[in-house]
Structure 1
Amino acid sequence: MRRINGEKFGRWSLRLDAAYCVLLGLGVALFAERIAAGIALAPWLVAAIGIAVVVWAGGVLWMLSRILLRRALRLVMTANLLAALAVGLVSVTAATALIVVAIITVAVDIALFAVSQAVALRALPRPVRPALQ
């Protein structure tokens, strides 16, 4: 079995996560009224969430280019776990079983990105700590 290249896998995970956030955020923002009709949130709040997700995608790309990969993976993984929980909780406000399934599916997608970031973190070489003198 080949060993996963943590650096390469981590960078791809963050790029794909950002792309997913752009698509999901734009979809949520553009269809906020329809989405709001199926859940107990105001359309303006749904649109704001969609826009925030698009802005977050930019933040993920910024982190990818500006901070240590290990730190970026940890931050995004933590955010994804919290987002998956939040999205899952929104499913309790859904009007129909189909909407519940759709919302839970998005929560699972987000959680899977967190898993990919955890795998990348685990595959990264451990940082070398200087010896004590």
Structure 2
Amino acid sequence: MRGTARIDGAAVGRWSLRLDALYCAVLGAAVALFAGPIAESLRLPIPLVAAIGVAVVVWAGLVAWMLARLPLRRALRFVMFANVGAALAVGAVSLAAATVFVVLAVLAVAVDVALFAVSQAVALRGLPAAG
């Protein structure tokens, strides 16, 4: 790479996973706490939306656990693929939204999640080759 500094994949990866876990904890808690209005806007059952919020909080804990316990490369790959799937699922949920504003808000979350997957891919590229 001429003219550019090499990315520290380990540092980027650790930060990406930490921020991903924090984002999921905050977002999941907000979804669980405000399941009623969110469910109404998305035309989904309240218990389903609340369960999704709780599951996202649990996922946040799992991401933090993976960061602490798994080899970084494995944790990044697992979370990156999960984020790709989650971004697609969240994007699909926007189809059920009642208003354009809600569609845009849900799509913004999908983009956020996709960007975490991109940051994890960048971190993986910056890691030394597995030997």
TM-score (norm 1): 0.95
Q: CA–CA distance in 2 between the matches of 1:23 and 1:3?
A: 32
Q: Map 1:113-124 onto structure 2 (within 5 A).
A: 113-124=116-127
The CA RMSD measured in Å over matched residues stands at 0.5
**Which of 102, 110, 113 is the aligned partner of 2:113?**
110
Stretches of structure 1 that go unaligned for 5 or more consecutive residues are 129-133
Deviation at 1:3, TM superposition (A): 1.2
Query: 4+ residue stretches of structure 1 with deviation over 6 A?
Result: none
**Which of 16, 20, 31 is the aligned partner of 2:19?**
16
Query: What is residue 82 of structure 1 aligned with on the other side?
Result: 85
Q: CA–CA distance in 2 between the matches of 1:74 and 1:11?
A: 12
**Which of 95, 100, 122 is the aligned partner of 2:98?**
95
Query: What is residue 71 of structure 2 aligned with on the other side?
Result: 68
Deviation at 1:66, TM superposition (A): 0.7
Higher alpha-carbon Rg:
1
Q: What is the number of residues matched between the two proteins?
A: 128
Q: CA–CA distance in 2 between the matches of 1:39 and 1:115?
A: 27
Deviation at 1:4, TM superposition (A): 0.9
TM-score (norm 2): 0.96
Q: CA–CA distance in 2 between the matches of 1:64 and 1:39?
A: 33
Give the % identical residues.
65
